Amino acid sequence: MSQWLGRVRAADPEARIAWLSLDPGDNDPARFLTHLVAGIQGVDADIGSSAQALLEGAQASGAEPVLVALINDLAQAGTPLIVVLDDYHVIEARMVHDAVTFLLDHSPPELHLAIASRSDPPLPLSRLRVRDQMSELRAADLRFSAQETQAFLNECMGLSLSADYISALEARTEGWAAGLQLAALSLQGHSDVPGFIDAFTGSNRFILDYLVEEVLQHQPEPVRSFLMRTAILDRLSGPLCDAVTDQEGSSAVLDYLERSNLFVVPLDHRRQWYRYHHLFAEVLRARASHEEPELQHSLHRRASEWYQHHDLLEDALKHALTAGDFERAGALLETVIPAIRRSRHDATLRGWLGAFPDHVVRKNPVLSVYYAWMMLTSGDLEAVEQRLQDAERGLAEASRDGEPKHDLPGALTARSEEFRALPVTIAVYRAALAQAVGDVEGTAAHARRALELCGPGDHLSRAAAAGFLGLAAWARGDLNTALPTFADVAPNLHAAGNIADELASTMVLADLWVTRGSLTEARRLLEKALNAVDSAGISAGPPTADLHVGISAMHCETGALAAAKEHLDAGVALGEAASMPENRYRRFVLMARLQSLTGKPGRAIGLLEEAERRYLRGFFPDVRPIPAMKARIWIRQGALREASDWAQARNLTPSDELSYLREFEHLTLARLLIAQHEADPPNASLGDAFDLLDRLLQAAQTSGRGGSVNEVLVLKARAYQAAGIAGLALEALEQALERSKADNHVRLFLDEGAPMLALLHRAAAEHITPSYVSHLLSAAQTGQTPAPSCRGTDALPVQLSERELEVLRLLGSSLSGPEVARQLYVSLNTLRTHTRHIFEKLQVSSRAEAVSRAREHGFL
């Protein structure tokens, strides 16, 4: 690779080449993207500024927005760029492989990826091969021929070996360059050449062990000691090696090693940074651990101190963890957490937290708090409170003890920013936990506590606390408090620089205005936020897709189904990476809504079930439970048995104590009671429906929930109509019409089907809100009402991912399971997981059934 790039530079001194030496830490997608963008910017500062802004602003929850921004810059630059991904075999994370695949699939002609790896990466190599978009150098290409072996051993390494000895070494190493290099180094000054070659047998790893031992034995003791003690380092520089070995002159030793071909690779043109050949370093580390085990912790501690002194805190943390110096590692992690969270390196933070022994985490209040966060986001709610209590105990002990006693240099001698913010952080996380378990009063209490503890400039914590106070008021149904309280969130997020979160908060505000009954204000807020995403530089990132979906929902409720579909398609096209994780279920809810409105209830139910799988509990009050949405579809289709089973499973009765969190369910129950009376009047009284609706109306009016008032009035009109009391039905309908016409509610009325159309015709005859009623009847006539359909005959309501489709195609071949796994470059267990998901989505139990069902529904 180096030789090829050398020829490229010789032919064109202005050639742009970015070289990334990957390490296991790059399995964090955000970290990989950060290094990728930084590497490219190192050779062309004009490329990647938008992508870097997305990463630094924590505005990208996935790789695609960053890569789209980067690809756009590359295309506009118009000049060739080579990006080298060295040691790609250390990458195991599926999300990083997906990011590289996306880059390959969408890269402009100017970009060339050069990947060096010990093994085939799980990228679409077959497709690239077929399209002639890939050049490959494999073992056979890199293997030394007999002639090259002779030239290397005798001419380069200065040995005078006979053709027979050269042939024997070539055969034993199979032309493996590293093995030949070690053999040559071992043979220099070796008196018994025949004996050495006879002993030179075994697998590559055994050969390597043997040869390293031979090489080390022939080195001067200072060089041998240097090799053993610096093998712990991923990168080598003179000053760093001086610190680790506790000796001077390391730069000269590195220069000697390079000139002696002792497996050091320069990482820059100025020969300031090097690394060892990975295989050589692995064996050196193993031997050093065996020969000098007591020294390893000291070496890692010295490396950690050097890196910390030079503000390379992540490297310092890694070596502190390896040294088992968890006190230092904990202090370092406290220091780097703000940068990790801003850059969204969540996987890195999880990995580091997981590297600490549990008793160390429990003693460190900052680590305990972020371990609680890790449990909260993974859904392990029971573990969160214990970790927060650990943090409080640690905070109390630290307050008694004063400043930390550990002997740490520089910035680590004082309490970290995260430590000082602990009381606020704990209160905010307690509010989040209470929200997750449905404790409305607890959410509000902890949020108020967080606000009391916030400093004047602590905008992010103020936004979080105000947000949870607003959500708690919303969960109580108190719109008069929720709206002004939540309105404080966006300004604080803006002041904190969290622009994406600021725009995303519009989704909640829009929901609150819909609850208030104003579709107009909700849509205005969403459209304003969508117009702002371009100026914020996040048009391909979150929450762009969410805003499109939100606007689509508003159009849907006003009967503008073409506009609704246009915005929904735009949101879906942007992909899930342009959506906040907590909002991704919404697109499936809206897809279900449109399918239901176009007469496909089976598809709608399937999409709602997908929405249920994607719903993340705890971010917002669950004021519109998805199972109740399914029940409404069943009621409209006359499937009253299914709807009754739902109500029974939820323990719903007309005499329940009312709460806003169950209002949507009780409104659905009222619909069911009306439908049951219409289906069987003698055995289903409407008395319970009227009592329930009267109580719901009073509660909604008291708390300013205009949207609920409108819906109750529509249902009261339907109940009076079912009871044959036409005058009261028209009176309730007129109230609903008067309240709804300014916001052009359409589905509020047309969702009630044929009985409502009959009532609207009577309203037209009575000249009740004539223009609005005419508009509603016209909307119904244009075919936007649900068309009748036979239940159970719809197309299969599933969506398969690209990976699942790839698996499905191979399942349709004659390949065995292990052969399919090898073709996909995945383990057999991973293949089984994909297959299980496919079976669940297609509702089958065998490979043959899956293929048959997929062909039946057009997937194959």
CB-CB contact of 704 with 692 (8 Å): no
Sorted by sequence, the CB contacts under 8 Å of residue 309 that are 6+ apart come out as 409, 410
pLDDT in tens, 748-786: 999 999 999 999 999 999 999 999 999 999 988 874 433
The stretch 549-554 carries a mean pLDDT of 95
Looking at residue 847, its pLDDT comes to 81
Amino acid symbol at 55: L
Taking the C-alpha atoms of residue 153 and residue 169, their distance in angstroms, rounded to an integer, is 10
Where on the phi/psi map is residue 773: left (φ > 0), alpha (ψ -120 to 50), or beta?
Answer: alpha
Query: Do 544 and 533 form a contact (C-beta atoms < 8 A)?
Result: yes
d(CA 334, CA 349): 11
What is the predicted pLDDT for the residue at 659? 93
DSSP 657: P
User: Per residue in 106-132, pLDDT tens?
Assistant: 888 889 999 998 778 889 888 888 888
C-alpha–C-alpha distance, residues 39 and 22, integer Å: 11
Q: Which amino acid is at 326?
A: F
> CB–CB of 817/850 below 8 Å?
no
Type of residue found at 360: V
**Which residue(s) pair with 264 in the sheet?**
276
> Interior CA angle at 59 toward 555 and 516, to 5°?
35
| CATH of region 802-856, choose from 3.40.50.2300, 1.10.10.10, 3.60.10.10, 1.10.620.20 | 1.10.10.10
Report for 364-368, 673-677, 793-797: range of highest mean pLDDT: 673-677
**743 in Cβ contact with 715 (< 8 Å):** no
The tens digit of pLDDT for each residue in 463-510 reads: 989 999 999 999 999 998 999 999 889 898 888 777 878 888 999 999
The residue ranges of every structural domain in the chain are: 2-137, 146-217, 498-585, 655-784, 802-856
Q: How many helices (H) and strands (E) does the chain have?
A: 48, 5
Q: pLDDT (tens digit, 9 = 90+) per residue, 159-196?
A: 888 888 888 888 877 787 878 887 887 787 677 888 87
Half-sphere exposure of 177 (CA within 13 A, CB side): 14
Task: Spell out the SS3 assignment of 811-850.
Answer: HCCCCCHHHHHHHHCCCHHHHHHHHHHHHHHHCCCCHHHH
Q: Is the pLDDT of residue 416 over 70?
A: no
Q: Give yes or no for a contact between 671 and 715, defined as CB atoms under 8 angstroms apart.
A: yes
Sole residue written with tokens 């680790």? 244
| Cross-strand partners of 115 | 85
| Angstrom distance (rounded) from CA 618 to CA 598 | 32
Q: What is the pLDDT of residues 561-589, one digit of tens each?
A: 989 999 999 888 887 777 887 888 999 99
- Bridge partners, residue 21, by sequence: 86
The answer to whether 681 and 674 are in contact (CB under 8 A) is no
Q: Which amino acid is at 172?
A: R
E runs forming strands in 128-221 = none
- Write out pLDDT tens, residues 495-507: 877 787 888 899 9
Give the residue among 152, 142, 113 at the shortest CA–CA distance from 3.
142
CB 745 within 8 A of CB 760: no
Residue 802 is predicted with a pLDDT of 65
Distance CA 605, CA 844 (A): 18
Res 793: pLDDT: 33
CATH number belonging to domain 498-585: 1.25.40
For the chain, state the CA radius of gyration.
33
Which of 339-348, 573-582, 686-695 holds the top average pLDDT? 686-695
Strands 17-21 and 81-86: parallel
**What 3-state class would DSSP assign to 274?**
strand
The tally of CA atoms less than 13 A away on the side-chain side of residue 641 is 0
Q: What was the pLDDT predicted at 459?
A: 86
E strands, 184-309, where? 264-266, 274-276
Tell me how far apart the alpha carbons of residues 369 and 391 are, in angstroms, rounded to a whole number: 6
Q: What's the predicted TM-score (pTM) here?
A: 0.62
| pLDDT at residue 789, rounded to an integer | 31
User: What phi and psi values does residue 275 have, to the nearest 5 degrees?
Assistant: -145, 160
Q: By mean pLDDT, which of 220-234, 319-333, 336-350 is the weakest?
A: 336-350
Distance from chain centroid for Cα 400: 40
